[in-house]
Amino acid sequence: MERSNQGALKKRLGMLLMVLSFAFYGLLFLVPFAPFSAGRKVMLSSVLIFLGEASFWIAALILGKELISIYKNIFRRERLKDALRRLGRREKGLEK
């Protein structure tokens, strides 16, 4: 029973780190509007990029195969081709 709780905790931690990685990258869009000097903005951007990458890769280590299979399904060539075909059909329909 304790192992299942530990596994669930690891999964939650991995998902939290994954969400945080996207949040760190999202915060990059706000950096130009921050009331800091240019040097501090560059430093803040560097820190946000580092935190985003670090949290993503730590989440990848924690989630392991599950994460890899999710990304493989998202970026499978067949799914991308289908999406591009649908997009092309929409554009052709708009041009007529």
* pTM over cut 0.85: no
Instruction: Identify the three-state secondary structure at position 81.
Output: helix
Q: pLDDT tens, position by position, for the chain (96 residues)?
A: 567 788 888 888 888 998 899 999 999 999 999 999 999 999 999 999 999 999 988 988 988 877 767 767 766 667 777 777 887 776 666 654
Task: Check residue 96 and give its pLDDT.
Answer: 46
Cα–Cα dist 3/27, whole Å: 36
